Amino acid sequence: MSGVWVFKNGVVRLVENPGECHGRKMLVHVPSNDVITSYAILERKLSSLGWERYYDDPSLLQFHKRSTVHLISLPKDFNKFKSMNMYDIVVKNRNEFEVRDMY
């Protein structure tokens, strides 16, 4: 047997085609359960958490939180917003955002 063992919802199963495990991801604002579908929505959520737009690099959309050294850098085009960017937001905003699989 070859494949990848996946643990999901309390069940372990063997996935023979590991590509099956890697679907599209979405960023969710946990308190409101809103799916982030645009940078405008994300900016409103981040602003309410104390993040400010940072205009140092015109090729990126950046946010900085004054009380920390954290900087969130995102591609200017929302279509290039990848799971790596989502996880960066999650790590810097614990309990506020989650990355979930799209179904």
d(Cα 85, Cα 79) in Å, to the nearest integer?
Answer: 12
Phi-psi region at 16: left, alpha or beta (left = phi > 0; alpha = psi -120 to 50): alpha
d(Cα 88, Cα 67) in Å, to the nearest integer?
Answer: 17
DSSP 3-state of 61: strand
Q: What is the pLDDT along the chain (103 residues), one digit of tens a residue?
A: 556 666 677 777 766 654 544 568 999 999 999 999 999 999 999 999 999 998 988 899 999 998 889 999 999 999 999 999 999 999 999 899 999 988 6
Instruction: Supply the pTM of this predicted model.
Output: 0.75
d(Cα 73, Cα 23) in Å, to the nearest integer?
Answer: 23
